[in-house]
Amino acid sequence: VNPAYVPESAEERRFLASYDPRAYDAIGVTVDVVVLTIRAGGLSVLLVNRTSFPHRGAWALPGGFVAVDEDLDAAAKRELAEETGLKLDGTGAGAHLEQLRTYGRPGRDPRMRVISVVYLALVPDLPTPGTLVRPALRGSARSGGSDASDARFWAVDDLAGEGAGALAFDHGSIVADAVERARAKLEYTPLATSFTAEPFTLGELRRIYEAVWGVSLHAPNFRRKVLSTPGFVLPVGERSEPGDGGGRPAELYRRGDATLLHPAFLRPPA
């Protein structure tokens, strides 16, 4: 019986009193989170090193079992914070969280039949304290009961080099699915802005596209296309500090209110 449900009639109450949920076999429900960010010019994914049995020592996505009265999104945020210290809530300046898909192949987890609802998060690479916190490192205070001891970002290109089979469970192919989703979403949504803190320059935005897609883009045309897409970015009216090796300071922008890009930003053909 579901404690979160409020009966609406006497008939409902009668039915629920005689209902046995144990009539169905138990299936475990977990959430996992693929956190992507841009580090050192490359797309990177946040992984945890497992300490307990299934795939002990292997790197895996942060995640865990859903509580019986807990919403799926909330479970994803909770497990992510518990295992890595990364908090997506708060003022939420830029972090994006969406459901990727659900993986349920029998035999994917040795403990029991488990289906995993996997979320995709896109976050800025913030080394400073703020609403987004760097993942906890070994030795920092953590609440007990978790499977993970250490968390770090891995460049997705390096993962392909070691072979996707190096990740625990089916997490290698899940990361591949997530990367492809992110690449596709940059084409028709303004989600590239979720990879950077505000305010940002158009050069930073362009380097995000270049890192995620693995291409180089023509800077002048990129600028024109972004500015001519309604609702993509809004000018702040200030200029950035100049960088090290010179270069003209860039104008600063923040996210616009568009959720879809018209026209779309298509990847250059092969």
Partner DNA sequence: GCAAAAGTGTTCTATGTACACCCATGT
Partner DNA sequence: ACATGGGTGTACATAGAACACTTTTGC
Choose the binding region for a copy of itself from 100-108, 199-207, 212-220, 241-249 (rule: CB under 8 A).
100-108
Based on the shown chain and the rule CB under 8 A, indicate whether residue 106 belongs to the binding site for a copy of itself: yes
HSE toward the beta carbon, residue 172, CA cutoff 13 A: 15
Q: CB-wise, 107 or 129, nearer to a copy of itself?
A: 107
Based on the shown chain and the rule CB under 7 A, indicate whether residue 41 belongs to the binding site for DNA: no
Q: Which does 57 bind (CB under 5 to 8 A by kind): DNA, a copy of itself, none?
A: none
Q: Among 54, 203, 231, 256, which residue interacts with DNA (rule: CB under 7 A)?
A: 203
Is the separation of the CB atoms in 66 and 103 below 8 Å? Answer: no
Q: Among 106, 145, 165, 263, which residue interacts with DNA (rule: CB under 7 A)?
A: 263
Residue type (1 letter), 270: A
182-193: string of b/e by CB count within 10 Å (b at 16+)? Answer: beebbeebbbbb
Q: CB-wise, 139 or 245, nearer to DNA?
A: 245
Based on the shown chain and the rule CB under 7 A, indicate whether residue 70 belongs to the binding site for DNA: no
Residues 6+ apart with CB under 8 A from 18: none
Residue 229 Cα distances to 175, 188, 223, angstroms: 30, 11, 10
Is the separation of the CB atoms in 155 and 147 below 8 Å? Answer: no
HSE toward the beta carbon, residue 221, CA cutoff 13 A: 5
Among positions 220-249, residues that touch DNA (CB under 7 A) are 220-221, 223-225, 228, 239, 242-249
User: How near is the Cβ of 120 to a copy of itself at its closest, in Å?
Assistant: 12
Based on the shown chain and the rule CB under 8 A, indicate whether residue 17 belongs to the binding site for a copy of itself: no
Q: CB-wise, 13 or 224, nearer to a copy of itself?
A: 13
Choose the binding region for a copy of itself from 2-10, 39-47, 195-203, 206-214 (rule: CB under 8 A).
2-10
Q: Which does 107 bind (CB under 5 to 8 A by kind): DNA, a copy of itself, none?
A: a copy of itself
What does the alpha-carbon distance between residue 209 and residue 230 come to, in Å, rounded to a whole number?
18
Q: CB-wise, 4 or 141, nearer to a copy of itself?
A: 4
The residues that touch DNA, with contacts defined as CB under 7 A, are 201-204, 218-221, 223-225, 228, 239, 242-251, 263-264, 266, 268
The residues that touch a copy of itself, with contacts defined as CB under 8 A, are 1-2, 4-7, 12, 15-16, 19, 21-22, 24-29, 53-54, 65-72, 99, 101-102, 104-107, 109-115, 117, 262-264, 266, 269
